[in-house]
């Protein structure tokens, strides 16, 4: 007699059933993990932009402004959609808009691209169009930016702008919604 090697149809069906169950559980978990990691990456990128603007304002002894920009050169002054991208520039006339004409002394420091589709970066009303740091490193206002995926507050990120330093909002009450100084962010559109 020869012994056969392999698996029976029943064994194969059991393995496939177990694999299907594991995939059903693992795929949504992986998707959520990917989204959370991308939100963290976007929050870190925006924090780096804020820190660059603050540091350059102190180093240069001039006001430096961040504004939303879809072209990487000039400021957009409508809407709250910072997810289109943003720029940092030396704001010599302190008007929150980069002058790009001939003879302009408003140096572009850096441009950041738009966020991936589905992600939003929205401020409260204090920063609709721009955020400026003066030569002492102080922000022109206080407020919050919310970074969300598909407009969901759960697992979103909040960046709290204080006069001196930006900081990440934390979730102190454990409900997976980041908090600013007033509590949970109220939405992904007006934090």
Report residue 2: phi and psi, to 5°. -100, 140
Q: Does 191 have pLDDT greater than 50?
A: no
Looking at residue 137, what is its pLDDT? Answer: 96
Higher pLDDT, 109 or 189: 109
The domains found in the chain, sorted by start residue, are: 35-184 (3.55.40.10)
Tokens of 13: 């069906």
Residue 25 clears pLDDT 70, i.e. is over it: yes
- pTM recorded for the entire structure: 0.83
Beta bridge partners of 132: 65
In the DSSP assignment, the letter for residue 139 is B
SS3 assignment, position 132? strand
Structure tokens at 131: 């955020």
**Tens digit of each residue's pLDDT (9 = 90 or more) over 39-62:** 999 999 999 999 999 999 999 999
Q: CA-to-CA distance for 147 and 40, rounded, in angstroms?
A: 9
- What percent of the chain stands above pLDDT 90? 64
- What mean pLDDT comes out for the span 16-32? 80
71 pLDDT band (50/70/90 cuts)? very high
Strand partners, 87: 67, 111
């Amino acid at each position: 007699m020869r012994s056969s090697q392999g698996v029976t149809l029943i064994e194969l069906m059991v393995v496939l059933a177990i694999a299907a169950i594991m995939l059903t559980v693992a795929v949504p978990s992986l998707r959520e993990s990917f989204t959370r990691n991308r939100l963290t990456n976007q929050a870190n990128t925006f924090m780096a932009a804020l820190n660059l603007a603050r540091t350059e304002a102190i180093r240069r002894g001039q006001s430096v402004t961040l504004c939303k920009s879809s072209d990487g050169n000039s400021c957009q002054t409508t809407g709250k959609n910072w997810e289109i991208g943003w720029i940092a520039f030396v704001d010599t006339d302190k008007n929150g808009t980069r002058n790009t004409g001939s003879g302009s002394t408003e140096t572009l420091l850096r441009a950041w691209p738009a966020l991936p589709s589905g992600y939003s970066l929205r401020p409260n009303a204090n920063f609709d169009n721009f955020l400026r740091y003066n030569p002492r490193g102080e922000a022109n206002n206080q407020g919050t930016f919310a970074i969300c995926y598909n407009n969901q507050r759960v697992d979103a990120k909040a960046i709290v702008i204080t006069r001196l330093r930006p900081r990440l909002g934390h979730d102190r009450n454990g409900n997976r919604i980041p908090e600013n100084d007033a509590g949970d962010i109220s939405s992904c559109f007006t934090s």
